[in-house]
C-alpha cells in the first residue's frame, strides 16, 4: 500500500500532503488535528483517508506497508 | 443575480449568489462537476516496470494526477482536426524514467514543453528499491467529469441557503442552552442579550430551535441567497473553473433557445 | 523454451515445458520468477 493519490470519497488530492503529515505527526509528535487543519484538509472523508493510512514508526524512520512488502521481493 | 466571493484562494472558493433560485445554482453545481473540461493522463505506454506495483495501478495513479490546464490551447480529441489520432492541439506527452532506490514523484513526469509541467510535484507514484526500474510514456488529453472522475475539476462542492436567525429577545431568558448546543458556535450572549456572531457559519441544523423551551429562536433559510463552497484539484484555479462553468451553461441555454 | 529467473541464485534458466517439473540446474532451487516481456504495454489510465 502507498498513500492514495486522491481522497476515495471526494477526490481531493492528498498524495502530496501525506509526507508533511507523516513528518510532523510521527516524527515531530504534533497533534494530528492541528496538522490536518494547517494542511487545509477540511472534510472528514479526507481526514479519515490520511489518519487511517497505516505506517510503522522505527525511531526516526516512518515506513509504509509498501516499504515492508517490497523487501520480500 | 449578483455573485460575490466570500473567500477566494487558489484552489478554494466560497461564493454568495444573491437574487437567485436553488435550481439555477444547482445547474451551476452540476456543470462544475460534470462539464468543465480539464487535462488528465489517458494513455500510458509502459516500457519497463520492475517495481512492487502492477502496471495498471501505476497507470491509474498517473491518471489521477492534476495537470495544469490551458483551455484556450487545447481541444477535445474527438473534435480535433486530426480525427482522434492525437496531435499537439489535443494531446500532451509526458515521459518518465527512473531507477531505484528512490521514490517516483509526479514532478518526475517530464513534459514536452515546460508550460505543461505538473504543478503539484510531491505526489508519490511508486517507491523503487535498488535495481528496480520504471520507464514509461504518457499521453494526456481533455475530458469531462461525465466520462471519468479523473477529469472532474472540482471536489467537495455543495451549497446551502443563506441562514436567517430570528431571536425573540422578549421570550429569551438567556439560559445559554442554544449557545452550548450549536455545533458551529454561531450564537453568543453579549451584554445580557442573545446575539448572532457569524451567520454564514450556520448549517441550518436547527438544534438551537429544538433545545429552546420558550420558542425564542427561529432558524430559516433564505432561498434567494445561496452560499456555495467548492475546491479544485489544482488543474484550474477556483476562479477560472467558475468562469468556465458559467460560459458552458450560457452556451447550453443559447442552444436550447435556438431549438425552441 | 521460456526463460525464467531462479529465486534462489538469480540466474536465468531455460526450462522446457515438455519436461515434467522445474528445477534450477545451478542450485537446485524450485521457485522461479517469470521475466517481464520486452514488449511495450499500452494501458488506459482508468
pLDDT tens digits for range B106-135: 999 999 999 999 999 999 999 998 888 999
Query: What are the residue ranges of helices labelled H in B65-213?
Result: 177-181, 207-211
For residue C12, what are the β-bridge partners? C5
Which residue on chain B is closest to A2 by alpha carbon? B126
B28 pLDDT more than 70: yes
| Exposed/middle/buried for residue B150 (C-beta within 10 Å: 0-12, 13-18, 19+) | buried
What does the pLDDT read at residue B206? 92
Q: Which domain holds residue C17?
A: 2-34
For residue C41, what are the β-bridge partners? B46
Domains held by chain C: number: 1
What does the pLDDT read at residue C12? 85
Counting as contact any 3 or more CB pairs under 8 A, the partners of B are: A, C
* Average pLDDT, consecutive stretches of 10 residues, N- to C-terminus, chain A (73 residues): 92 94 91 95 94 85 73 55
Instruction: Find the CATH number of the domain harbouring B44.
Output: 2.170.120.12
Percent share of chain B, pLDDT over 70: 100
What does the pLDDT read at residue A72? 57
**Residue B248 placed within a domain:** no
Q: Cβ separation of B52 and A69 shorter than 8 Å?
A: yes
What does the pLDDT read at residue B9? 92
**Residue B253 placed within a domain:** no
The answer to whether residues B60 and B188 belong to one domain is no
pLDDT one-digit tens code per residue, B128-150: 988 889 999 999 999 999 999 99
Helix axes A15-22, A44-51, angle to 10 degrees: 60
What does the pLDDT read at residue A20? 93
Whether the CB of A42 is below 8 Å from some CB of chain B: the reply is yes
pLDDT one-digit tens code per residue, C1-45: 677 888 888 888 887 767 667 788 888 888 888 888 788 899 999
Q: Which distant-in-sequence residues (6+ apart) come within 8 Å of B39 by Cβ?
A: B67, B68, B69, B74, B92, B116, B140, B141, B142, B235
What does the pLDDT read at residue A70? 58
State whether residue B22 is helix, strand or coil.
helix
Domains held by chain B: number: 2
CB B94 within 8 A of CB B138: yes
Indicate the pLDDT class of residue B233, thresholds 50, 70 and 90: very high
Q: Cβ separation of C45 and B47 shorter than 8 Å?
A: no
**Residue B246 placed within a domain:** no
The answer to whether residues B117 and B177 belong to one domain is no
The answer to whether residues B120 and B211 belong to one domain is no
State whether residue A53 is helix, strand or coil.
coil
List chain A residues with CB under 8 Å of B234: 13
B235: part of which helix (H) or strand (E)? none
Kindly provide the residue ranges of all beta strands, DSSP E only, lying in chain B, ordered along the sequence.
Answer: 2-8, 12-18, 38-49, 91-99, 102-105, 110-111, 124-128, 133-143, 154-167, 187-190, 193-196, 217-232
**Using CA atoms, how far apart are residues B96 and B137, in angstroms rounded to an integer?**
6
Q: Cell match 480535433: residue?
A: B80
Peptide bond into B101 cis (omega under 30): yes
Question: Considering the entire predicted model, what is its pTM?
Answer: 0.87
| B42, B46, B59 member nearest C40 (Cβ) | B46
Least Cα distance to B135 among B112, B107, B91, B104 occurs for B104
**Residue B259 placed within a domain:** no
Indicate the pLDDT class of residue B186, thresholds 50, 70 and 90: very high
**Using CA atoms, how far apart are residues A52 and A54, in angstroms rounded to an integer?**
6
Kindly provide the residue ranges of all beta strands, DSSP E only, lying in chain C, ordered along the sequence.
Answer: 2-6, 12-15, 32-34, 41-44
Instruction: Find the CATH number of the domain harbouring B26.
Output: 3.30.1360.10
Query: What's chain B's average pLDDT?
Result: 93
What does the pLDDT read at residue A68? 66
Q: What average pLDDT score do residues B209-227 get?
A: 92
Domains in chain A: boundaries: 15-70
Q: Which residue has the higher pLDDT, C17 or B164?
A: B164
Percent share of chain B, pLDDT over 90: 80
**Residue B98 placed within a domain:** yes
Whether the CB of B45 is below 8 Å from some CB of chain C: the reply is yes
pLDDT one-digit tens code per residue, B47-67: 999 888 899 999 999 999 999
Which residue on chain B is closest to A40 by alpha carbon? B12
The answer to whether residues B29 and B70 belong to one domain is no
What does the pLDDT read at residue B1? 87
What does the pLDDT read at residue B203? 93
The answer to whether residues B128 and B24 belong to one domain is no
**Residue B239 placed within a domain:** no
For residue A31, what is the DSSP state? -
Q: Which domain holds residue B169?
A: 2-35+155-229
The answer to whether residues B69 and B166 belong to one domain is no
| Exposed/middle/buried for residue B41 (C-beta within 10 Å: 0-12, 13-18, 19+) | buried
Amino acid at each position: 500500500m502507498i498513500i492514495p493519490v486522491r481522497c476515495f470519497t471526494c477526490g481531493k488530492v492528498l498524495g502530496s500532503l501525506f509526507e508533511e503529515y507523516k513528518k510532523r505527526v510521527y516524527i515531530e509528535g504534533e497533534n494530528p488535528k492541528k496538522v490536518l487543519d494547517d494542511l487545509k484538509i477540511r472534510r472528514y472523508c479526507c481526514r479519515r483517508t490520511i489518519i487511517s493510512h497505516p505506517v510503522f514508526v522505527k525511531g526516526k524512520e516512518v515506513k509504509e506497508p509498501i516499504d515492508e512488502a517490497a523487501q520480500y521481493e | 443575480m449578483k455573485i460575490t466571493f466570500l473567500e477566494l484562494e487558489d484552489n478554494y472558493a466560497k461564493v454568495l449568489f444573491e437574487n437567485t433560485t436553488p435550481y439555477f445554482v444547482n445547474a451551476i453545481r452540476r456543470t462544475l462537476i460534470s462539464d468543465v473540461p480539464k487535462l488528465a493522463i489517458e494513455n500510458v505506454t509502459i516500457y519497463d516496470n520492475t517495481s512492487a506495483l502492477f502496471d495498471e495501478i501505476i497507470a491509474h495513479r498517473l491518471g489521477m494526477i492534476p495537470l495544469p490546464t490551458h483551455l484556450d490551447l487545447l481541444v477535445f480529441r474527438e473534435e480535433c482536426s486530426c480525427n482522434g489520432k492525437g496531435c499537439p492541439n489535443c494531446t500532451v506527452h509526458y515521459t518518465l524514467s527512473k531507477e531505484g532506490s528512490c521514490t517516483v514523484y509526479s514532478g518526475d513526469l517530464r513534459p514536452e514543453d515546460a508550460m505543461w509541467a505538473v504543478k503539484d510535484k510531491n505526489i508519490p507514484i511508486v517507491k523503487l528499491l535498488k535495481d528496480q526500474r520504471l520507464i514509461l510514456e504518457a499521453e494526456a488529453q481533455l475530458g469531462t467529469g461525465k466520462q471519468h472522475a479523473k477529469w472532474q475539476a472540482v471536489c467537495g462542492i455543495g451549497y446551502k441557503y443563506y441562514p436567517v436567525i430570528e431571536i425573540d429577545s422578549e421570550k429569551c431568558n438567556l439560559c445559554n442552552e442554544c449557545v452550548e448546543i450549536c455545533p458551529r458556535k454561531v450564537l453568543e450572549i453579549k451584554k445580557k442579550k442573545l446575539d448572532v456572531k457569524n451567520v454564514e457559519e450556520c448549517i441550518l441544523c436547527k438544534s438551537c430551535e429544538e433545545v429552546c423551551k420558550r420558542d425564542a429562536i427561529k432558524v430559516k433559510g433564505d432561498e434567494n441567497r445561496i452560499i456555495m463552497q467548492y475546491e479544485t484539484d489544482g488543474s484550474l484555479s477556483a476562479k477560472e473553473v467558475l468562469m468556465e462553468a458559467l460560459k458552458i451553461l450560457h452556451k447550453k441555454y443559447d442552444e436550447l433557445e435556438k431549438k425552441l | 523454451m521460456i526463460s525464467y529467473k531462479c529465486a534462489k541464485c538469480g540466474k536465468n534458466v531455460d526450462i522446457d515445458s515438455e519436461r515434467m517439473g522445474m528445477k534450477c540446474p545451478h542450485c537446485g532451487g524450485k521457485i522461479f520468477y517469470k521475466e517481464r516481456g520486452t514488449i511495450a504495454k499500452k494501458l488506459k489510465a482508468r
